[in-house]
Structure 1
Amino acid sequence: MYLKAQPWNSYGESDEVGAISLFLTHNPIKEIYYGTSPNWGTREEFERNDIHDVDHYVTLRLENGWFRASWLMQGFDEGIALEITDDALPPMGDIQNVSVTESKPWTGLVRLEIENVTFVPHIPDEESSRNLWSVRLDLEEHRSVVVCLGIYREGVIEYHPTNLTVIFSKEIATSYRTPGSRYPAWGR
């Protein structure tokens, strides 16, 4: 099985998004990888914050398959593409997979089931359609993680369409939004 939802049809109203949400729900997290450019970041760098500046994509190995969220642009459309598969998702091009399974705060989330998925849309430009820009995974034990478009530099998250940021803090995720979104990265 393989399914991919493009950002411009993955903000919550497509069959693909429904299938991806169903696939993720009640599926425990086993391993986590960040897709980064060479020399982007190391596992040790990702342990410092409740915000991880990821670069290209986040891949989760789940008990029953694999999930990837990656940034994608097409003309004025910019957002997060979602993929699920039964088989391992290989690195894309010259992007390296960095295992962050043993990095904080991921260590406290491994083995927890995903209970709910929230998709957050935005309209990045007058010329674009509605696109997915943030995904929140609510886990057991009242824990959550947000994967969204943005870049984290010098203690601040800024909107950047060609970079992903992972947020582990509800406070931070509720205070960050793109210029084209009615809702923060946390969602409603």
Structure 2
Amino acid sequence: MRIYGDKRSGNCYKLQLLLSLLGKTCEWIDVDILNGETRSQWFLDKSPNGKIPILELDDGRVLSESNAIMHYLAFNTPLMPSSPFSHAKLLQWQFFEQYSHEPYIAVARYINVYLGLPDERRDEFESKQAGGYRALEVMEQQLKQSPFLLGDTLSLADISLYAYTHVAHEGGFDLSAYPAIRNWLGLVREQKGFIPMQAVS
């Protein structure tokens, strides 16, 4: 198997962290998103949506969408709950991550860190703050009730949301008012096999 991605991307970091927690390895192929590699023909031939990460199996089959790849990699492991309701709750948090969290926190981080907060994107950056804080408040309320998002143990839900939450400050978000989130971030870092995200240079 091989993964095509950018190690500084939260969506790609999810997969790196998951593999490390599972004690698995996978060939990594860097893709330069700022220089347009995801729009090149060789990449589009693999993934017509033109987004990272993608997972390519040895037989040539390709999976895209970070959370879908996570389900493939973690199938039949303790990181995926077995009961129908708990599995649905896992999906609920992953849909939340993609629709209510990532579009605000990850995009603000991209504008600030990758693009250097150019003047023409400043209004867009500011517009992301309210939505990002709403998402953080949802997480805070759950993490006041349980140490991890699905209860007492780490799951894919935590890995999905850890990726961009732990660098939320890079998108202008202050986590000082979210003690439950800060405690949860520490619990994730304490997991055997944890690896940090590569810093954006």
Q: TM-score range by the shorter chain?
A: under 0.3
For normalisation by structure 1, the TM-score amounts to 0.25
Q: TM-score, normalised by structure 2?
A: 0.23
Which has the larger helix fraction? 2
Q: Which has the larger radius of gyration?
A: 2
Which structure features the higher share of strand residues?
1
